[in-house]
Amino acid sequence: MTKTISFGIVHFTVAIGVVYALTGSLVIGGLIALIEPLVNTAAYHYHEKAWAWFRARPCGRQRAASALAS
């Protein structure tokens, strides 16, 4: 858990730093650093649903199996 928290702090700091470098605003950097993980979490949820749908199809299972074999 310590490593996860540490990575979260690094990710947050990098996000603020990048947005600050682009905009010159710590407020905007902080907001984006907070909002981005929320949006990314929702996107990941829908990505997993799409991936499950793809893998459940007969041709999707065959493609996944051949990709793992190679």
> Which parts of the chain fold into alpha helices (H)?
2-23, 26-56, 58-69
What pLDDT, on the 0 to 100 scale, is given for residue 8? 84
- The angle formed by the CA atoms of residues 48, 51 and 57, to the nearest 5 degrees, is 145
What pLDDT, on the 0 to 100 scale, is given for residue 23? 93
What pLDDT, on the 0 to 100 scale, is given for residue 55? 85
Q: Which residues of 22-33 are buried (b: 16+ CB within 10 A; e: fewer)?
A: eeeeeeebeebb
Q: Read off the pTM.
A: 0.59
pLDDT per residue as tens, the chain (70 positions): 898 889 888 988 998 999 999 999 999 988 998 898 889 889 999 999 999 988 888 775 666 666 667 6
- The angle formed by the CA atoms of residues 47, 48 and 53, to the nearest 5 degrees, is 100
